[in-house]
Amino acid sequence: MFNIVERATYHKNPPELLTERITSIDIGCDVARFGSDETVIGYKLNHIVYDFEAYRGKDTMQTAGNIMKLARELAKNTKYQVPINVKIDDS
């Protein structure tokens, strides 16, 4: 049986290979605050999830800048004209 976890597997294909029209873009970020945790940024085009980057040791302003850069690149490359949702987990 094909379960939800298997369907949500991260894709490595670049977004330019998508053949369908983009109807939604979401960016997600899990912010590392302490210890050996990593900050992870990913995004979703329609229903397909892509990983973007993961790193340690950068401050929250650098992370905010990386998210803004990604949002601008996605808007430009997909010609998406409405606001991009950004979801942050900093707990």
Q: What is the pLDDT of residues 57-67, one digit of tens each?
A: 888 899 999 99
- Percentage of residues in the chain with pLDDT exceeding 70? 79
pLDDT of 35 reads: 73
Q: Which one is predicted more confidently, 87 or 34?
A: 87
CB-based burial label for 21 (10 Å; 0-12, 13-18, 19+): exposed
Q: What is the pLDDT of residues 16-40, one digit of tens each?
A: 555 578 899 999 999 987 778 899 9
pTM: 0.77
